[in-house]
Amino acid sequence: MTVTICDTTAEAVAGIRDGSTVLIGGFGMAGMPVQLIDALIDQGASDLTVVSNNAGNGDTGLAALLAKGRVRKMICSFPRQTDSWVFDGLYRAGKIELEVVPQGNLAERMRAAGAGIGAFYGRTGVGTPLAEGKETREIDGRTHVLEFPIKGDVALIGAFRADRMGNLVYRKTARNFGPVMATAAAVTIAQVSEVVETGTLDPEVIVTPSIYVDRVVAV
């Protein structure tokens, strides 16, 4: 599928269904696709499962989506922060489910989804509450735990520039989860600062090739 360069964020998030699993990029606010999330709030999809490293910061971006009550479940590595009051309130009121996943497993489970890996054994979390009930296996004399992919219906990511084919480059640590989430969702939607003509991005520096990208919108 070729990429669609959207004129508006509303067009970019059109068709996201209730009950979807939405991968949302960003680490804190760096790389957080705030304008796409605002558009998702307006679009109205609810009963969402959101996969993101954190569970919202302050009152904007993911926190705003949570505050609207659209999210049934958060899958993340680090919900508790000094500015995660929106999530904290929902969690303490029993209004949101939480699955805490070690950060490396979160990334690798999405990588597996994007790479067609059925499951993988890793050592992270062995002997801890986060591996309870999971299948384990001795490999090379060490206990490993079986982890399954996390696949998204949609990924919302923030990148720096796209070309008109949908190739993406990022800026500094705002890259974070964007490239791996782009591979792991059925539909990947990227907000960028700028869409440039095809051929103007150096092929050597493209981080997310266009094959992973479905819709792009400049914000």
Partner 1 sequence: MSLDKHEMAALVARDIAPGSYVNLGIGQPTLVADHLPAGAGIVLHTENGMLNMGPAAVGDQIDPDLTNAGKIPVTELPGSAYFHHADSFAMMRGGHLDVCVMGAFQVSANGDLANWHTGDPDAIPAVGGAMDLAVGAKSVYVMMTLFTKRGEPKLVPECTYPLTGLKCVDRVYTDQATFLITDAGVIVRDTFGITFEELSDRLDVPLLRP
Interface with partner 1 (CB under 8 A): 27-31, 53, 57, 77-81, 87-88, 91-92, 98, 100-108, 110-111, 122-130, 170-180, 207
d(CA 212, CA 63): 26
Minimum distance of partner 1 from residue 55's CB (angstroms) = 9
Alpha carbons 120 and 105: distance in angstroms, whole number: 10
Compute the least distance from the CB of residue 94 to partner 1, in Å.
Answer: 12
Smaller CB separation from partner 1, 70 or 144: 144
Helix (H) or strand (E) holding 88: helix 85-92
- Cα(14)–Cα(11) distance, rounded to whole angstroms? 5
What is the closest distance, in whole angstroms, from the C-beta atom of residue 163 to partner 1 in the complex?
19
| DSSP-assigned letters across all residues of 149-197 | ---EEEEEEE-SEEETT--EE--GGG-TTHHHHHHHEEEEEEEESEEE-
Shortest gap between Cβ of 156 and partner 1 (angstroms)?
A: 16
Provide φ and ψ at 166, rounded to 5°: 100, 5
For residues 111, 116, 121 and 122, what is the CA-based torsion angle, rounded to 10 degrees? -10
Q: How many residues does the chain have?
A: 219
> For residue 31, is it left (φ>0), alpha (ψ between -120 and 50) or beta?
left
